């Protein structure tokens, strides 16, 4: 190996480039900007005002924070649902007036004051909700107008009643305690805010209604088409915001023991800035209660800091304007460019040197030499199906395959002219296997392991395995379940080809060539799924050996075949039976003569083999070229090979012109014929095998003569 290659291998093997893309693909990275902003604010204000974070100062600020945070959380929920509520300040003031009026003018009890404040908030929220949710008015303008209406009402009320409030001589210790007191040093308003925060967080992140809010905010149209009541959901968000403002109004009423003309003035701008600065996306769908809280803390520290620094009036607005503009700007840019950056940096190639191999050239005399025998296949379902990745036959000779439309299709014996949709699984059904009871086990790409019973009921067997500690990507999820086979005891062994790419991006995994494929086992006795082997390069086909104790495993991008013993005396042993091949292996299935059929989904090329040894070149390619211009492995010429127990090649079937079966991903022998499927093909091929046992079927081979 040349020195430069060794260096490249070290560089791309040791340095975890892939983590950049994985971290960026995480939603929690949205928190990075607001968090940095928060730290900058804390450090900046903390150094400018030495005693800003002293205890006395904090106690006062936290009381303010409580009320403010409650308002911001209400607004955050509205923003998550794709709306905006500018009436929060006026609602806040009006609710404060309502509670103050109950205490000082009516002489009513505390609970009535609280109820009055909440009711005020609820009425305003309901009005906003009806206008924006049901009448579908524009949120910004509508709440701006409700704000002016409420503000006008509030001003009228304050002018008429404030003297009465000031002159009232009412002593209510509980009221004063809510305003000034606290529990263990924490002011009541802060405690209430924490409770509201927990409630709101659980609501948004753990409840069905909360998810509806996020769905509506994320994509109104999709939410509507998915059957979510968009109007009711939007209505609800404004209702919640109104209630939050009402609660906060009650708290400020208690704190100030009265209301003035300035109560709640400018609160909407502050709250809006807090919501956006915290990282909640305008237009909805992205954000959280935590972000709202972060924004509330930032804005409060900033404004209080500016006041403490003794700036003249107006400075606050100036800074707030800049912060608001900056936050919206970052939000818009982040949203627009994150996916672009992610698409650019996600592919992180590693060094991969494929061992040299005998040639596959026709008439080269090597055991791999291709021929044109597959050109003689007859077609089944030509042009009627799309993407039969795997094919299988039952004991009545009916032929099954998956399609990219998410269906399992059945061609009826004996002539396979007629077909029907056997079951709809969704996703992309790939590998197939029959269990002892005759139920069809299906690996559904992008979804998991499913079972279709004889009566066509679809059951999910497994969609997750144990998660690796400290993995950034959630590798408990099955991303690309590819092929499965069933042990005599009923355990289902199946492969999950990559943890880095979704099923439809399977070819990208080759450009990266990072071995992340896994062998998993699903145990029907306890319903658990466990990872058996990991770190394989696109682990694809899996086939139960004739001994019932071991499996043949195909690593597509490494062009290798392994044998793994899961049972018997050699249990746990992993042998490489074919170390190098000129083709990329796919599914493996039993042959009637005691050997195994293996599909080649494509053939290695010298140029791509070289590219695999140049990770830097592939990295530059993925960064600088559009995907259409990337160098991909050749998946336009494939074939079928047969090997024996020891991995020696005994037969090769190819299609040189590529007219019948340019790529092959699967094949099944059944009663003297080989049925050939391909993930990019629009047909299934049937090839008559000379001299094969005309009564041999897979069902009998697996489950005995009775079938």
Partner 1 sequence: MTGWFLLLGRRRQEDTVFLLTILLFLTFSFVLHGFLTTGNIIALLRSVALLGILAVGMGIVVIGRGIDLSLVAILAISVAVFLNLLGQSYPIGIALLLALVGVIAVGALNGVLTAYAEMPAIFATLATGTFVYGLGRSQFLTQDVIYLPPGHDLFTAFGNARLASIPVEVVVFAFILVGAFLWLRFSKYGRYIYLIGDNLNAARNAGLPVRPVIVLQYVVSALLAFVAGLIMAAGIHSMNTRIVNSSLLYDVILVVVIGGIGLSGGKGGVRNLIVGTLLIGILLNGMTILDISDLYQNLIKATVLLAALIVDGVLNPRDEQTDQQGDI
89 binds partner 1 (CB under 8 A): no
Q: CB 302 → partner 1: shortest distance, Å?
A: 13
Work out whether the CA dihedral 253, 256, 259, 260 comes out positive or negative. Answer: negative
261 binds partner 1 (CB under 8 A): no
Which of the stretches 36-44, 117-125, 307-315, 625-633 binds partner 1 when contact is defined by CB under 8 A? Answer: 307-315
- Tell me how far apart the alpha carbons of residues 38 and 278 are, in angstroms, rounded to a whole number: 9
Residues in Cβ contact with 231 at an 8 Å cutoff, skipping those fewer than 6 apart? 133, 134, 136
269 binds partner 1 (CB under 8 A): yes
Toward partner 1, which CB reaches closer, 110 or 271?
Answer: 271
- Which two structure tokens, joined as six digits, stand for 686? 């049937």
- Tell me how far apart the alpha carbons of residues 290 and 69 are, in angstroms, rounded to a whole number: 10
Q: CB 96 → partner 1: shortest distance, Å?
A: 18
Which of the stretches 196-204, 251-259, 310-318, 481-489 binds partner 1 when contact is defined by CB under 8 A? Answer: 310-318
Which of the stretches 44-52, 132-140, 539-547, 557-565 binds partner 1 when contact is defined by CB under 8 A? Answer: 132-140
Q: Is 600 helix (H, G, I), strand (E, B) or coil?
A: strand
Which of the stretches 49-57, 170-178, 314-322, 502-510 binds partner 1 when contact is defined by CB under 8 A? Answer: 314-322
- Tell me how far apart the alpha carbons of residues 180 and 177 are, in angstroms, rounded to a whole number: 5
Partners of residue 530 on adjacent β-strands: 521
Of the candidate residues 49, 123, 209, 328, the single one contacting partner 1 (CB under 8 A) = 328
Toward partner 1, which CB reaches closer, 208 or 336?
Answer: 336
Of the candidate residues 140, 177, 186, 632, the single one contacting partner 1 (CB under 8 A) = 140
Q: Is 260 helix (H, G, I), strand (E, B) or coil?
A: coil
Which of the stretches 165-173, 281-289, 580-588, 691-699 binds partner 1 when contact is defined by CB under 8 A? Answer: 281-289
- Tell me how far apart the alpha carbons of residues 666 and 643 are, in angstroms, rounded to a whole number: 15
Q: How many CB atoms lie within 10 A of CB 144?
A: 14
131 binds partner 1 (CB under 8 A): yes
Counting DSSP H helices and E strands in the chain, the numbers are: 19, 26
Toward partner 1, which CB reaches closer, 237 or 637?
Answer: 237
312 binds partner 1 (CB under 8 A): yes
Of the candidate residues 284, 431, 445, 654, the single one contacting partner 1 (CB under 8 A) = 284
DSSP secondary structure letter of residue 417: -
**Helix/strand/coil (H/E/C) assignment for every residue in 102-140:** HHHHCCCCHHHHHHHHHHHHHHHHHHHHHHHHHCCCCHH
Among 271, 242, 210, 317, residue whose Cα is nearest residue 69: 271
Of the candidate residues 21, 66, 74, 83, the single one contacting partner 1 (CB under 8 A) = 83
Q: CB 235 → partner 1: shortest distance, Å?
A: 14
Q: CB 140 → partner 1: shortest distance, Å?
A: 5
Of the candidate residues 29, 329, 362, 573, the single one contacting partner 1 (CB under 8 A) = 329
Partners of residue 522 on adjacent β-strands: 492, 529
Q: Is 630 helix (H, G, I), strand (E, B) or coil?
A: coil
Q: Which element (helix H / strand E) includes 403?
A: none
Q: Strands across the sheet with 517-523, in order?
A: 481-486, 492-496, 517-523, 528-536
Q: CB 280 → partner 1: shortest distance, Å?
A: 13
Of the candidate residues 311, 341, 413, 530, the single one contacting partner 1 (CB under 8 A) = 311
159 binds partner 1 (CB under 8 A): yes
Toward partner 1, which CB reaches closer, 242 or 349?
Answer: 242
Fill in the per-residue mask, 225 to 244: x = in contact with partner 1 (CB under 8 A), - = not in contact: -----x--------------
**Widest CA span in the chain:** 109
Q: How many CB atoms lie within 10 A of CB 594?
A: 11
Q: How many CB atoms lie within 10 A of CB 299?
A: 28
The tokens 């495993």 sit on which residue?
553
Of the candidate residues 71, 124, 254, 276, the single one contacting partner 1 (CB under 8 A) = 276
Q: Are 537 and 585 in contact (CB under 8 A)?
A: no
- Which two structure tokens, joined as six digits, stand for 587? 């599914």
Of the candidate residues 163, 325, 353, 413, the single one contacting partner 1 (CB under 8 A) = 325
- Which two structure tokens, joined as six digits, stand for 470? 């400290």
Which of the stretches 184-192, 318-326, 367-375, 633-641 binds partner 1 when contact is defined by CB under 8 A? Answer: 318-326
What is the four-CA torsion angle of 9, 10, 11, 17, rounded to 10 degrees? 80
- Tell me how far apart the alpha carbons of residues 684 and 664 are, in angstroms, rounded to a whole number: 10
142 binds partner 1 (CB under 8 A): yes
Of the candidate residues 10, 43, 48, 149, the single one contacting partner 1 (CB under 8 A) = 149
- Which two structure tokens, joined as six digits, stand for 253? 């009423």
Q: CB 97 → partner 1: shortest distance, Å?
A: 14
Which of the stretches 238-246, 325-333, 615-623, 688-696 binds partner 1 when contact is defined by CB under 8 A? Answer: 325-333
Toward partner 1, which CB reaches closer, 6 or 155?
Answer: 155
Among 565, 547, 556, residue whose Cα is nearest residue 588: 556
277 binds partner 1 (CB under 8 A): no
- Tell me how far apart the alpha carbons of residues 97 and 77 are, in angstroms, rounded to a whole number: 24
* Count of residues engaged in binding partner 1, rule: CB under 8 A: 52
Which of the stretches 42-50, 150-158, 454-462, 666-674 binds partner 1 when contact is defined by CB under 8 A? Answer: 150-158
Fill in the per-residue mask, 330 to 349: x = in contact with partner 1 (CB under 8 A), - = not in contact: --xx--x-------------
682 binds partner 1 (CB under 8 A): no
Q: CB 319 → partner 1: shortest distance, Å?
A: 7
Toward partner 1, which CB reaches closer, 340 or 525?
Answer: 340
List of residues contacting partner 1 (CB under 8 A): 82-84, 131, 135-142, 144-146, 148-149, 151-153, 155-156, 159, 219-221, 224, 230, 269, 276, 282-284, 311-322, 324-325, 328-329, 332-333, 336
């Amino acid at each position: 190996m040349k020195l430069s290659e060794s260096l490249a291998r070290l560089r791309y093997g040791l340095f975890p480039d892939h983590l950049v893309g994985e971290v960026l693909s995480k939603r929690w990275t949205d928190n990075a900007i607001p968090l940095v902003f928060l730290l900058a604010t804390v450090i900046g204000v903390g150094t400018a005002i030495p005693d800003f974070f002293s205890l006395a100062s904090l106690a006062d600020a936290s009381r303010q924070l409580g009320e403010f945070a409650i308002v911001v959380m209400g607004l955050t929920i509205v923003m998550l649902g794709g709306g905006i509520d500018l009436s929060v300040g006026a609602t806040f003031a009006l609710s404060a007036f309502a509670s103050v009026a109950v205490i000082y003018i009516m002489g009513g009890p505390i609970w009535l004051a609280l109820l009055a404040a909440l009711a005020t908030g609820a009425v305003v929220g309901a009005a906003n909700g009806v206008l924006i949710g049901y009448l579908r008015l524009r949120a910004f303008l509508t709440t701006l107008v409700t704000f002016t209406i409420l503000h006008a009402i509030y001003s009228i009320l304050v002018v008429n009643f404030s003297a009465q409030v000031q002159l009232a001589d009412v002593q209510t210790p509980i009221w004063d305690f809510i305003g000034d007191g606290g529990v263990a040093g924490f002011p009541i308003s802060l405690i209430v805010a924490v409770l509201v925060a927990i409630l709101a967080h659980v609501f948004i992140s753990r409840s069905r209604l909360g998810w509806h809010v996020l769905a509506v905010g994320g994509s109104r149209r999709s939410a509507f088409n998915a059957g979510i009541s968009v109007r009711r959901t939007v209505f609800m968000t404004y209702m919640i915001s109104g209630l939050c403002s009402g609660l906060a109004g009650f708290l400020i009423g208690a704190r100030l023991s009265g209301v003035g003309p300035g109560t709640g003035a400018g609160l909407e701008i502050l709250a809006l800035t807090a919501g956006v600065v915290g990282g909640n996306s305008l237009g909805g769908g992205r954000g959280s209660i935590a972000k709202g809280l972060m924004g509330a803390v930032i804005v409060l520290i900033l404004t209080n800091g500016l006041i403490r620094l003794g700036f003249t009036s107006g400075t606050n607005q100036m800074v707030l304007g800049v912060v608001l503009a900056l936050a919206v700007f970052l939000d818009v840019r982040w949203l627009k460019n994150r996916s672009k950056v992610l698409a650019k940096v996600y592919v992180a190639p590693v060094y991969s040197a494929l061992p040299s191999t005998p040639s596959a050239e026709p008439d080269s005399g090597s055991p791999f030499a291709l021929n044109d025998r597959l050109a003689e296949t007859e077609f089944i379902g030509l042009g009627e199906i799309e993407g039969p990745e795997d094919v299988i036959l039952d004991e009545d000779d009916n032929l099954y395959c998956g399609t990219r439309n998410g269906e399992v299709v059945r061609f009826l014996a004996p002539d396979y002219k007629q077909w029907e949709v056997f079951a709809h699984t969704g996703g992309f059904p790939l590998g197939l296997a029959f269990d002892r009871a005759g139920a069809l086990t299906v690996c559904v790409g992008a979804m998991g392991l499913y079972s279709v019973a004889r009566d066509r009921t679809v059951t999910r067997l497994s969609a997750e395995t144990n998660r690796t500690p400290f993995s950034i990507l959630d590798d408990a999820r099955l991303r690309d379940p590819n092929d499965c086979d069933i042990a005599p005891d009923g355990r289902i062994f199946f492969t999950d080809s990559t943890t880095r790419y979704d099923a439809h991006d399977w070819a990208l995994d080759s450009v990266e060539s990072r071995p992340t494929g896994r062998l998993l086992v699903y145990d029907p006795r306890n319903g658990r799924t466990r990872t058996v082997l990991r770190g394989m390069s696109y682990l694809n086909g899996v086939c139960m050996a004739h001994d019932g104790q071991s499996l043949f495993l195909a690593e597509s991008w490494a062009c290798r075949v392994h044998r793994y013993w899961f049972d018997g005396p050699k249990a746990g042993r992993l042998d490489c039976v074919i170390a190098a091949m000129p083709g990329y292996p796919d599914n493996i299935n039993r042959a009637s003569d005691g050997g195994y059929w293996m599909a080649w989904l494509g053939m290695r090329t010298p140029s791509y083999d070289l590219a695999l040894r140049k990770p830097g070149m592939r990295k530059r390619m993925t960064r600088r070229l559009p995907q259409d211009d990337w160098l991909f492995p050749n998946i336009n010429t494939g074939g079928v090979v047969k090997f024996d127990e020891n991995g020696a090649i005994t037969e090769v079937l190819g299609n040189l012109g590529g007219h019948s079966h340019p790529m092959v991903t699967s094949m099944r022998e059944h009663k003297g014929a080989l049925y050939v499927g391909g993930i990019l093909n629009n047909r299934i091929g049937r090839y008559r095998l000379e001299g094969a046992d005309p009564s041999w079927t897979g069902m009998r081979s697996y489950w005995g003569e009775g079938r």
